[in-house]
Amino acid sequence: MQLRVNSTDNEAQVPPGQTAQSTFVDQINAIRELIDEAEQREGETISLVERLHERSGHLHSAINLAEETAALLLADFVVRYIEHVPDFIEALHDMASEAGIREGIEPLLNIAIEYFLNPPDLIAGHSALELLLDEAYLAHRLLEEINDRFIGLCGAPLVPMDMTRANLVAHELIGEPFANELDQAVLFSAELLLSEYNFRGEAFDRFFARHREHGWSVELSRWPCLATDRAIFLNFEHR
Protein backbone atom coordinates (compact mmCIF):
# COMPACT_ATOMS: atom_id res chain seq x y z
CA MET A 1 0.00 0.00 0.00
CA GLN A 2 1.21 3.49 -0.74
CA LEU A 3 0.42 6.45 1.48
CA ARG A 4 0.50 9.99 0.19
CA VAL A 5 2.96 12.62 1.32
CA ASN A 6 1.02 15.83 1.00
CA SER A 7 2.38 19.04 -0.43
CA THR A 8 3.25 21.80 1.99
CA ASP A 9 2.01 24.45 -0.42
CA ASN A 10 -0.42 26.21 1.89
CA GLU A 11 -2.10 28.04 -0.97
CA ALA A 12 -3.07 24.68 -2.43
CA GLN A 13 -4.41 23.34 0.86
CA VAL A 14 -6.04 26.27 2.63
CA PRO A 15 -9.56 27.26 1.51
CA PRO A 16 -10.20 30.95 0.73
CA GLY A 17 -10.77 32.99 3.88
CA GLN A 18 -8.88 30.59 6.13
CA THR A 19 -5.32 30.66 7.45
CA ALA A 20 -3.04 27.65 7.69
CA GLN A 21 -3.38 27.82 11.49
CA SER A 22 -7.19 27.80 11.41
CA THR A 23 -7.15 24.90 8.96
CA PHE A 24 -4.84 22.94 11.26
CA VAL A 25 -7.10 23.62 14.25
CA ASP A 26 -10.12 22.50 12.24
CA GLN A 27 -8.35 19.28 11.28
CA ILE A 28 -7.39 18.46 14.87
CA ASN A 29 -10.95 19.23 16.00
CA ALA A 30 -12.27 16.94 13.26
CA ILE A 31 -10.06 14.10 14.49
CA ARG A 32 -11.23 14.59 18.06
CA GLU A 33 -14.84 14.60 16.89
CA LEU A 34 -14.32 11.30 15.09
CA ILE A 35 -12.89 9.83 18.28
CA ASP A 36 -15.70 11.23 20.46
CA GLU A 37 -18.39 9.92 18.12
CA ALA A 38 -16.89 6.42 18.09
CA GLU A 39 -16.49 6.34 21.88
CA GLN A 40 -20.10 7.40 22.40
CA ARG A 41 -21.51 4.51 20.39
CA GLU A 42 -22.35 1.85 22.93
CA GLY A 43 -22.25 -0.91 20.32
CA GLU A 44 -18.73 0.08 19.31
CA THR A 45 -17.45 -0.17 22.86
CA ILE A 46 -19.12 -3.54 23.40
CA SER A 47 -17.71 -4.84 20.11
CA LEU A 48 -14.22 -3.63 21.03
CA VAL A 49 -14.33 -5.28 24.47
CA GLU A 50 -15.55 -8.55 22.92
CA ARG A 51 -12.77 -8.51 20.35
CA LEU A 52 -10.15 -7.74 22.97
CA HIS A 53 -11.48 -10.53 25.16
CA GLU A 54 -10.78 -12.90 22.27
CA ARG A 55 -7.33 -11.40 21.69
CA SER A 56 -6.33 -11.29 25.37
CA GLY A 57 -5.64 -15.01 25.49
CA HIS A 58 -3.21 -14.80 22.57
CA LEU A 59 -1.01 -11.86 23.56
CA HIS A 60 2.73 -11.92 24.18
CA SER A 61 3.63 -13.34 27.56
CA ALA A 62 5.13 -9.97 28.56
CA ILE A 63 1.61 -8.52 28.69
CA ASN A 64 0.42 -10.02 31.94
CA LEU A 65 -3.19 -9.14 32.77
CA ALA A 66 -5.75 -10.94 34.93
CA GLU A 67 -8.16 -12.82 32.70
CA GLU A 68 -11.29 -11.35 34.30
CA THR A 69 -10.21 -7.74 33.75
CA ALA A 70 -7.94 -8.03 30.71
CA ALA A 71 -10.49 -6.98 28.09
CA LEU A 72 -11.60 -3.86 29.98
CA LEU A 73 -8.00 -2.81 30.72
CA LEU A 74 -7.05 -3.31 27.10
CA ALA A 75 -10.09 -1.35 25.92
CA ASP A 76 -9.06 1.52 28.19
CA PHE A 77 -5.54 1.31 26.75
CA VAL A 78 -6.92 1.45 23.19
CA VAL A 79 -9.00 4.56 23.92
CA ARG A 80 -6.07 6.40 25.51
CA TYR A 81 -3.73 5.30 22.72
CA ILE A 82 -6.14 6.74 20.14
CA GLU A 83 -6.80 9.95 22.08
CA HIS A 84 -3.06 10.54 22.41
CA VAL A 85 -2.61 11.13 18.66
CA PRO A 86 -4.29 14.54 18.25
CA ASP A 87 -2.58 15.64 21.48
CA PHE A 88 0.92 14.87 20.20
CA ILE A 89 0.20 16.27 16.72
CA GLU A 90 -0.95 19.52 18.31
CA ALA A 91 2.06 19.65 20.65
CA LEU A 92 4.52 18.95 17.86
CA HIS A 93 2.88 21.63 15.68
CA ASP A 94 3.11 24.24 18.46
CA MET A 95 6.67 23.31 19.40
CA ALA A 96 7.82 23.42 15.78
CA SER A 97 6.07 26.75 15.19
CA GLU A 98 7.93 28.32 18.11
CA ALA A 99 11.24 26.87 16.87
CA GLY A 100 10.69 28.17 13.34
CA ILE A 101 10.60 24.71 11.76
CA ARG A 102 6.84 24.27 11.31
CA GLU A 103 6.96 24.40 7.52
CA GLY A 104 9.71 21.81 7.58
CA ILE A 105 7.71 19.25 9.56
CA GLU A 106 4.31 19.93 7.98
CA PRO A 107 4.71 16.91 5.65
CA LEU A 108 4.99 14.65 8.72
CA LEU A 109 2.01 16.28 10.43
CA ASN A 110 -0.03 16.10 7.24
CA ILE A 111 0.47 12.35 6.92
CA ALA A 112 -0.52 11.75 10.56
CA ILE A 113 -3.65 13.87 10.03
CA GLU A 114 -4.48 12.14 6.76
CA TYR A 115 -4.41 8.75 8.44
CA PHE A 116 -7.57 9.86 10.28
CA LEU A 117 -9.34 12.19 7.87
CA ASN A 118 -8.61 10.18 4.70
CA PRO A 119 -7.72 6.67 5.91
CA PRO A 120 -5.88 4.40 3.47
CA ASP A 121 -7.79 1.66 1.66
CA LEU A 122 -5.83 -0.96 3.58
CA ILE A 123 -7.89 -0.36 6.73
CA ALA A 124 -11.30 0.11 5.11
CA GLY A 125 -14.21 -1.97 6.39
CA HIS A 126 -13.23 -2.09 10.06
CA SER A 127 -15.56 -0.97 12.84
CA ALA A 128 -15.14 2.62 14.04
CA LEU A 129 -12.94 2.00 17.09
CA GLU A 130 -10.92 -0.68 15.33
CA LEU A 131 -10.40 1.72 12.44
CA LEU A 132 -9.25 4.42 14.85
CA LEU A 133 -6.84 1.96 16.48
CA ASP A 134 -5.34 1.18 13.07
CA GLU A 135 -5.05 4.89 12.28
CA ALA A 136 -3.52 5.68 15.66
CA TYR A 137 -1.01 2.86 15.21
CA LEU A 138 0.03 4.26 11.82
CA ALA A 139 0.52 7.75 13.31
CA HIS A 140 2.42 6.57 16.39
CA ARG A 141 4.63 4.20 14.39
CA LEU A 142 5.42 6.90 11.83
CA LEU A 143 6.64 9.24 14.57
CA GLU A 144 8.63 6.39 16.12
CA GLU A 145 10.36 5.75 12.78
CA ILE A 146 11.05 9.43 12.15
CA ASN A 147 12.41 9.85 15.68
CA ASP A 148 14.76 6.90 15.18
CA ARG A 149 16.04 8.36 11.90
CA PHE A 150 16.63 11.79 13.47
CA ILE A 151 18.57 10.29 16.37
CA GLY A 152 20.87 8.68 13.84
CA LEU A 153 21.16 11.76 11.63
CA CYS A 154 21.15 14.60 14.17
CA GLY A 155 21.98 13.05 17.53
CA ALA A 156 18.55 13.94 18.97
CA PRO A 157 14.94 12.93 18.33
CA LEU A 158 12.42 15.26 16.75
CA VAL A 159 10.34 14.93 19.92
CA PRO A 160 11.20 13.33 23.30
CA MET A 161 8.39 10.81 23.08
CA ASP A 162 9.07 7.09 23.24
CA MET A 163 5.98 5.12 22.25
CA THR A 164 7.82 1.87 21.58
CA ARG A 165 6.21 -0.07 24.41
CA ALA A 166 2.70 1.21 23.68
CA ASN A 167 3.19 0.49 19.98
CA LEU A 168 4.20 -3.08 20.77
CA VAL A 169 0.96 -3.55 22.72
CA ALA A 170 -1.06 -2.01 19.88
CA HIS A 171 0.70 -4.32 17.40
CA GLU A 172 -0.34 -7.29 19.51
CA LEU A 173 -3.95 -6.11 19.72
CA ILE A 174 -4.22 -5.47 15.99
CA GLY A 175 -2.71 -8.88 15.34
CA GLU A 176 -0.53 -10.34 12.65
CA PRO A 177 -0.23 -10.41 9.72
CA PHE A 178 -2.24 -7.18 9.42
CA ALA A 179 -0.11 -5.21 11.89
CA ASN A 180 2.94 -6.14 9.81
CA GLU A 181 1.23 -4.67 6.73
CA LEU A 182 0.68 -1.42 8.64
CA ASP A 183 4.36 -1.44 9.63
CA GLN A 184 5.36 -1.77 5.99
CA ALA A 185 3.11 1.16 5.07
CA VAL A 186 4.77 3.26 7.77
CA LEU A 187 8.25 2.36 6.55
CA PHE A 188 7.24 3.41 3.04
CA SER A 189 5.94 6.75 4.30
CA ALA A 190 9.07 7.37 6.40
CA GLU A 191 11.35 6.66 3.45
CA LEU A 192 9.26 8.91 1.22
CA LEU A 193 9.33 11.74 3.73
CA LEU A 194 13.09 11.58 4.18
CA SER A 195 13.77 11.31 0.46
CA GLU A 196 11.48 14.21 -0.55
CA TYR A 197 12.24 16.56 2.38
CA ASN A 198 15.70 17.07 3.83
CA PHE A 199 14.58 18.41 7.24
CA ARG A 200 17.65 20.62 7.19
CA GLY A 201 18.47 24.31 7.48
CA GLU A 202 19.65 26.77 10.09
CA ALA A 203 16.46 26.56 12.14
CA PHE A 204 16.63 22.76 12.25
CA ASP A 205 20.33 22.87 13.14
CA ARG A 206 19.62 25.26 16.04
CA PHE A 207 16.68 23.11 17.18
CA PHE A 208 18.72 19.90 17.39
CA ALA A 209 21.82 21.60 18.80
CA ARG A 210 19.76 23.14 21.62
CA HIS A 211 18.20 19.83 22.57
CA ARG A 212 21.45 17.90 22.36
CA GLU A 213 22.92 20.38 24.82
CA HIS A 214 20.02 21.22 27.13
CA GLY A 215 17.60 18.28 26.83
CA TRP A 216 13.83 18.55 26.74
CA SER A 217 12.74 19.66 30.22
CA VAL A 218 11.01 22.84 28.97
CA GLU A 219 9.02 21.00 26.31
CA LEU A 220 8.09 18.17 28.65
CA SER A 221 6.75 20.60 31.23
CA ARG A 222 4.64 22.42 28.63
CA TRP A 223 3.43 19.38 26.70
CA PRO A 224 3.15 16.40 29.09
CA CYS A 225 1.83 14.19 26.28
CA LEU A 226 5.37 14.16 24.85
CA ALA A 227 6.94 12.75 28.00
CA THR A 228 6.71 9.01 27.29
CA ASP A 229 3.96 6.49 26.90
CA ARG A 230 3.19 6.77 30.63
CA ALA A 231 -0.24 8.25 29.93
CA ILE A 232 -1.26 5.03 28.21
CA PHE A 233 0.72 2.65 30.35
CA LEU A 234 0.12 -1.06 30.76
CA ASN A 235 2.12 -3.11 33.24
CA PHE A 236 4.56 -5.56 31.68
CA GLU A 237 5.40 -8.54 33.79
CA HIS A 238 6.73 -11.91 32.74
CA ARG A 239 4.51 -14.78 33.68
Give residue-wise pLDDT tens across range 22-75: 799 999 999 999 999 999 988 888 888 998 988 888 887 777 788 888 888 899
| Domain assignment present for 239 | no
What is the mean predicted confidence (pLDDT) over 135-147?
94
Per-state percent for the chain, helix, strand, coil, to nearest 5: 70, 0, 30
Mean pLDDT of the 8-33 span: 70
At 12 the pLDDT is 39
Q: How confident is the model at residue 173 (pLDDT cuts 50, 70, 90)?
A: very high
- In angstroms, the Cα distances linking 33 to 21, 66, 84, 114, 144 are 18, 33, 14, 15, 25
Asked if residue 138 is part of any domain, the answer here is yes
Confidence of residue 165 (pLDDT cuts 50, 70, 90): confident
| More confidently predicted of 19 and 212 | 212
Mean pLDDT of 109-117: 94
DSSP states of 151-213: HHHHSS-SSS---HHHHHHHHHHH-TTHHHHHHHHHHHHHHHHHHH----SHHHHHHHHHHHH
14 within a domain of the structure (yes/no): no
For residue 66, count other CB atoms closer than 10 A to its CB. 8
pLDDT at 91: 94
Instruction: Please give the mean pLDDT across all residues of the chain.
Output: 84
Is residue 2 a part of any domain in this protein?
Answer: no
pLDDT score recorded for residue 7: 38
Look at residue 238 and tell me if it is in a domain: no
Residue 46's Cβ-count burial label (10 Å; 0-12, 13-18, 19+) is: exposed
Instruction: Give the ranges where the chain is alpha helix by DSSP (H).
Output: 10-13, 20-40, 42-56, 70-99, 102-117, 128-154, 164-174, 178-196, 202-214, 217-222
> What does the pLDDT average to over 7-27?
61
The answer to whether residue 183 sits within a structural domain is yes
Cα distances (angstroms) measured from residue 179 to each of 33, 72, 122: 25, 21, 11
Is 236 in contact with 61 (CB distance < 8 Å)? no
Side-chain half-sphere CA neighbours of 113 within 13 A? 20
Domain that includes residue 217, residue range: 20-232
Cα 133 from Cα 203, distance rounded (Å): 34
Please give the average per-residue pLDDT across 104-130, as a whole number: 88
The dihedral over CA atoms of 195, 199, 205, 206, expressed in degrees to the nearest 10, equals -170
Domain for residue 142, yes or no?
Answer: yes
CA dihedral angle for residue 170, residue 173, residue 178, residue 180, rounded to 10 degrees: 40
Structure confidence at residue 20 (pLDDT) = 65
Q: Looking at the domain assignment, is residue 63 inside a domain?
A: yes
- The count of domains in the chain is 1
